[in-house]
Amino acid sequence: MADTPQTNSQSAPSTSPPPPSPHPPFPALRSIAKFKARSHATSKDIHIPLLHQIQSQPPANDNNNPYPSPTPTPKKSPTDTSRLPVRVWVVQVGTNNLTVKTGLGERDVDAWEVLVETLLGVNPTGGECKVLVTGLFYRKDVSGELVDQANGKIRAVVKRLQEKYGADRVVCLAPAAGVKTEEHLVDHVHLNLEGYQLWMAELFPAVNALLG
Protein backbone atom coordinates (compact mmCIF):
# COMPACT_ATOMS: atom_id res chain seq x y z
CA MET A 1 0.00 0.00 0.00
CA ALA A 2 1.43 3.38 -1.00
CA ASP A 3 2.07 5.96 1.70
CA THR A 4 -0.17 8.98 1.82
CA PRO A 5 1.65 11.98 0.26
CA GLN A 6 2.80 14.50 2.85
CA THR A 7 2.65 18.26 2.35
CA ASN A 8 3.99 21.17 4.37
CA SER A 9 0.80 23.20 4.14
CA GLN A 10 -1.60 23.00 7.05
CA SER A 11 -5.23 24.02 6.93
CA ALA A 12 -6.70 26.06 9.71
CA PRO A 13 -8.80 24.06 12.17
CA SER A 14 -12.50 24.26 11.50
CA THR A 15 -14.53 26.20 14.05
CA SER A 16 -17.93 24.96 12.87
CA PRO A 17 -19.42 21.79 14.40
CA PRO A 18 -19.51 18.67 12.22
CA PRO A 19 -22.79 17.99 10.42
CA PRO A 20 -25.14 15.54 12.11
CA SER A 21 -24.82 11.93 11.08
CA PRO A 22 -27.43 10.85 8.51
CA HIS A 23 -27.73 7.56 10.37
CA PRO A 24 -27.53 8.37 14.11
CA PRO A 25 -27.44 5.43 16.49
CA PHE A 26 -30.66 4.64 18.34
CA PRO A 27 -29.88 2.01 20.99
CA ALA A 28 -33.53 1.56 21.99
CA LEU A 29 -34.54 0.87 18.40
CA ARG A 30 -31.63 -1.49 17.86
CA SER A 31 -32.57 -3.43 20.98
CA ILE A 32 -35.92 -4.49 19.47
CA ALA A 33 -34.72 -4.97 15.89
CA LYS A 34 -35.14 -8.45 14.47
CA PHE A 35 -33.31 -10.08 11.60
CA LYS A 36 -35.77 -11.61 9.15
CA ALA A 37 -33.96 -14.22 7.10
CA ARG A 38 -36.75 -14.48 4.53
CA SER A 39 -36.83 -10.73 3.90
CA HIS A 40 -33.05 -10.65 3.62
CA ALA A 41 -33.04 -13.52 1.13
CA THR A 42 -35.84 -11.95 -0.91
CA SER A 43 -33.98 -8.66 -1.12
CA LYS A 44 -30.65 -10.30 -1.98
CA ASP A 45 -31.90 -12.92 -4.45
CA ILE A 46 -34.87 -11.16 -6.08
CA HIS A 47 -35.13 -7.40 -5.52
CA ILE A 48 -31.49 -6.40 -6.00
CA PRO A 49 -31.01 -8.50 -9.19
CA LEU A 50 -34.20 -6.97 -10.61
CA LEU A 51 -32.92 -3.47 -9.88
CA HIS A 52 -29.67 -4.25 -11.69
CA GLN A 53 -31.65 -5.35 -14.73
CA ILE A 54 -33.49 -2.04 -15.04
CA GLN A 55 -32.03 0.15 -17.75
CA SER A 56 -31.47 3.76 -16.76
CA GLN A 57 -33.60 6.22 -18.67
CA PRO A 58 -32.21 9.48 -20.07
CA PRO A 59 -32.59 12.49 -17.75
CA ALA A 60 -35.36 15.01 -18.30
CA ASN A 61 -32.78 17.74 -18.90
CA ASP A 62 -29.08 18.06 -19.61
CA ASN A 63 -27.81 19.77 -16.47
CA ASN A 64 -25.70 18.05 -13.84
CA ASN A 65 -28.59 17.51 -11.43
CA PRO A 66 -31.43 15.93 -13.41
CA TYR A 67 -34.34 16.52 -11.09
CA PRO A 68 -37.18 15.87 -11.55
CA SER A 69 -36.34 12.90 -13.71
CA PRO A 70 -37.39 9.26 -14.11
CA THR A 71 -33.73 8.34 -13.75
CA PRO A 72 -32.77 7.21 -10.21
CA THR A 73 -30.92 9.99 -8.44
CA PRO A 74 -27.60 9.47 -6.61
CA LYS A 75 -27.67 8.39 -2.99
CA LYS A 76 -26.58 11.77 -1.68
CA SER A 77 -28.87 13.81 -3.89
CA PRO A 78 -31.36 16.44 -2.68
CA THR A 79 -33.96 13.67 -2.56
CA ASP A 80 -32.05 11.76 0.13
CA THR A 81 -34.27 11.83 3.23
CA SER A 82 -31.27 12.04 5.56
CA ARG A 83 -30.71 15.60 4.29
CA LEU A 84 -34.29 16.80 4.50
CA PRO A 85 -35.83 18.67 7.45
CA VAL A 86 -38.50 16.21 8.54
CA ARG A 87 -41.46 18.11 9.96
CA VAL A 88 -44.13 15.42 10.22
CA TRP A 89 -43.94 11.62 10.31
CA VAL A 90 -47.12 9.67 9.54
CA VAL A 91 -47.14 6.27 11.25
CA GLN A 92 -49.73 3.60 10.50
CA VAL A 93 -49.67 0.62 12.83
CA GLY A 94 -49.14 -2.54 10.81
CA THR A 95 -52.46 -4.34 10.52
CA ASN A 96 -50.54 -7.60 10.06
CA ASN A 97 -49.58 -7.34 13.72
CA LEU A 98 -53.19 -8.10 14.63
CA THR A 99 -53.93 -11.74 15.32
CA VAL A 100 -57.34 -13.38 15.13
CA LYS A 101 -57.25 -14.55 18.77
CA THR A 102 -55.36 -11.86 20.68
CA GLY A 103 -55.42 -8.72 18.53
CA LEU A 104 -52.43 -6.44 19.11
CA GLY A 105 -49.89 -8.00 21.46
CA GLU A 106 -48.11 -6.09 24.21
CA ARG A 107 -44.67 -6.76 22.70
CA ASP A 108 -45.81 -5.15 19.46
CA VAL A 109 -47.20 -2.18 21.37
CA ASP A 110 -43.91 -1.72 23.24
CA ALA A 111 -41.89 -1.96 20.02
CA TRP A 112 -44.20 0.50 18.30
CA GLU A 113 -43.77 2.97 21.17
CA VAL A 114 -39.99 2.76 20.81
CA LEU A 115 -40.33 3.42 17.08
CA VAL A 116 -42.51 6.51 17.53
CA GLU A 117 -40.24 7.89 20.24
CA THR A 118 -37.25 7.34 17.97
CA LEU A 119 -38.91 9.22 15.12
CA LEU A 120 -39.38 12.22 17.40
CA GLY A 121 -35.58 12.52 17.50
CA VAL A 122 -34.93 12.08 13.78
CA ASN A 123 -34.35 15.49 12.27
CA PRO A 124 -30.91 16.27 10.80
CA THR A 125 -31.59 20.01 10.98
CA GLY A 126 -31.93 19.88 14.76
CA GLY A 127 -35.50 21.14 14.85
CA GLU A 128 -38.46 19.41 16.43
CA CYS A 129 -40.55 17.13 14.24
CA LYS A 130 -44.02 15.78 14.91
CA VAL A 131 -45.63 12.37 14.59
CA LEU A 132 -49.15 11.72 13.35
CA VAL A 133 -50.35 8.28 14.42
CA THR A 134 -53.23 6.74 12.48
CA GLY A 135 -55.59 4.17 13.93
CA LEU A 136 -56.34 0.69 12.64
CA PHE A 137 -59.28 -0.03 10.36
CA TYR A 138 -61.62 -2.93 10.94
CA ARG A 139 -60.88 -6.22 9.19
CA LYS A 140 -63.07 -9.08 8.02
CA ASP A 141 -61.01 -11.74 9.78
CA VAL A 142 -60.48 -10.04 13.16
CA SER A 143 -63.32 -9.15 15.52
CA GLY A 144 -64.24 -5.50 15.87
CA GLU A 145 -63.72 -5.79 19.63
CA LEU A 146 -60.06 -6.74 19.18
CA VAL A 147 -59.52 -3.87 16.71
CA ASP A 148 -61.11 -1.46 19.21
CA GLN A 149 -58.80 -2.80 21.94
CA ALA A 150 -55.78 -2.32 19.65
CA ASN A 151 -56.76 1.29 18.92
CA GLY A 152 -57.19 1.82 22.66
CA LYS A 153 -53.63 0.61 23.24
CA ILE A 154 -52.41 2.97 20.53
CA ARG A 155 -54.18 5.93 22.13
CA ALA A 156 -52.65 5.02 25.50
CA VAL A 157 -49.16 5.10 24.01
CA VAL A 158 -49.87 8.45 22.36
CA LYS A 159 -51.06 9.85 25.69
CA ARG A 160 -47.84 8.75 27.43
CA LEU A 161 -45.71 10.31 24.71
CA GLN A 162 -47.77 13.51 24.81
CA GLU A 163 -47.12 13.80 28.53
CA LYS A 164 -43.40 13.39 27.87
CA TYR A 165 -42.94 15.45 24.69
CA GLY A 166 -46.01 17.66 24.45
CA ALA A 167 -49.50 17.21 23.03
CA ASP A 168 -48.60 19.13 19.88
CA ARG A 169 -45.80 16.74 18.90
CA VAL A 170 -47.66 13.43 18.95
CA VAL A 171 -51.19 13.37 17.55
CA CYS A 172 -53.53 10.43 17.10
CA LEU A 173 -55.92 10.32 14.15
CA ALA A 174 -58.83 7.90 14.44
CA PRO A 175 -59.57 5.70 11.43
CA ALA A 176 -62.00 7.25 8.97
CA ALA A 177 -65.49 6.53 10.28
CA GLY A 178 -66.89 6.25 6.75
CA VAL A 179 -64.80 3.19 5.88
CA LYS A 180 -66.96 0.04 6.02
CA THR A 181 -65.59 -3.48 5.80
CA GLU A 182 -68.47 -4.57 3.58
CA GLU A 183 -67.90 -1.82 1.03
CA HIS A 184 -64.35 -0.51 1.19
CA LEU A 185 -62.00 -3.52 1.39
CA VAL A 186 -60.53 -5.16 -1.69
CA ASP A 187 -59.94 -8.35 0.31
CA HIS A 188 -60.15 -9.10 4.03
CA VAL A 189 -57.88 -6.25 5.10
CA HIS A 190 -56.68 -3.86 2.35
CA LEU A 191 -58.63 -0.74 1.44
CA ASN A 192 -59.99 -0.38 -2.08
CA LEU A 193 -59.84 2.85 -4.06
CA GLU A 194 -62.93 4.37 -2.45
CA GLY A 195 -61.66 3.35 0.96
CA TYR A 196 -58.37 5.15 0.39
CA GLN A 197 -60.25 8.21 -0.84
CA LEU A 198 -62.26 8.31 2.38
CA TRP A 199 -59.09 7.92 4.43
CA MET A 200 -57.16 10.58 2.52
CA ALA A 201 -60.04 13.03 2.95
CA GLU A 202 -59.26 12.97 6.68
CA LEU A 203 -55.52 12.25 6.61
CA PHE A 204 -54.43 15.14 4.37
CA PRO A 205 -56.12 17.86 6.46
CA ALA A 206 -54.57 16.37 9.61
CA VAL A 207 -51.10 16.47 8.05
CA ASN A 208 -51.60 20.04 6.84
CA ALA A 209 -52.72 21.08 10.30
CA LEU A 210 -49.50 19.74 11.84
CA LEU A 211 -47.43 21.43 9.15
CA GLY A 212 -49.05 24.71 10.14
pLDDT grade for 178, boundaries at 50, 70 and 90:
very high
Closest CA to 95 of 183, 182, 158, 189: 189
Which range among 74-78, 82-86, 100-104, 156-160 shows the weakest confidence by mean pLDDT?
Answer: 74-78
Quote the pTM value. 0.68
Q: Are 59 and 103 spatial neighbours (Cβ–Cβ below 8 Å)?
A: no
Long-range contacts of 154-161 (CB under 8 A, 24+ apart): 154/93, 154/104, 154/109, 154/112, 157/109, 157/112, 157/113, 157/116, 158/133, 160/113, 161/113, 161/116, 161/117, 161/120, 161/131
pLDDT grade for 35, boundaries at 50, 70 and 90:
confident
Domain 80-211, second-level architecture? 3-Layer(aba) Sandwich (3.40)
Instruction: Reply yes or no on whether the pLDDT at 138 is more than 60.
Output: yes
CA distance 118 to 111: 11
Predicted pLDDT at 9: 41
Percent of the chain with pLDDT over 70: 72
pLDDT grade for 153, boundaries at 50, 70 and 90:
very high
Q: Indicate the DSSP class of residue 133.
A: E
Predicted pLDDT at 54: 79
Q: Are 175 and 151 spatial neighbours (Cβ–Cβ below 8 Å)?
A: yes
CA distance 24 to 90: 20
Average pLDDT of the residues of the chain: 80
pLDDT grade for 7, boundaries at 50, 70 and 90:
very low
Instruction: Reply yes or no on whether the pLDDT at 99 is more than 70.
Output: yes
Predicted pLDDT at 97: 85
CA distance 183 to 194: 9
Predicted pLDDT at 160: 96
pLDDT tens by residue, 44-80: 899 888 888 877 666 565 555 545 555 555 555 544 5
Among 4-18, 27-41, 143-157, top mean pLDDT goes to 143-157
- Enumerate the H helices of 58-188 as residue ranges: 106-119, 144-165
If you average pLDDT over residues 21-27, what whole number do you get?
Answer: 53
